[in-house]
Structure 1
Amino acid sequence: MHDRLTEARAVLADTTQHPDSLVILAARVVVGQTDDARECGDALDLLRLLDRRPLHAIAAASFPNGGAA
């Protein structure tokens, strides 16, 4: 899990060098795994810009099972 979050952060740090599909995937990983509210908010903002689906569909994909552990 930690390695995935680290890799996702690296992708988000250099979004211009990666295809949108990979940036969207990385943002979803960050939203689902970070404990930092600001980082989560930034990733959600990026998802709003890149992902064409409605926000409730994005949240459902980022938080499977409604966020329950």
Structure 2
Amino acid sequence: MEFILIHPFREGNGRLSRLLCDVLAVLAGKGLLDYSLWDEHKAFYFKAIQAGVSGNYSPMMRLVSDILPD
């Protein structure tokens, strides 16, 4: 979440953040994440990022838990 908020690069921040999430999920034994749900609900994804700016990480935690493989 913090990586998205600091937006360190001119391009590719979203792709790199998804790659980092995938790496963490694989290291946790969960496998690769399916981001199609985020693509289908972009408005909620952007609202979750905005909530993170205020320190409210619950919406992003919900998004991540929704795409974690069983």
Q: TM-score range by the shorter chain?
A: 0.3 to 0.5
Structure number with greater Rg is: 2
TM-score scaled by length of structure 2: 0.32
Bigger RCO (CA 8 Å, 6+ sep): 2
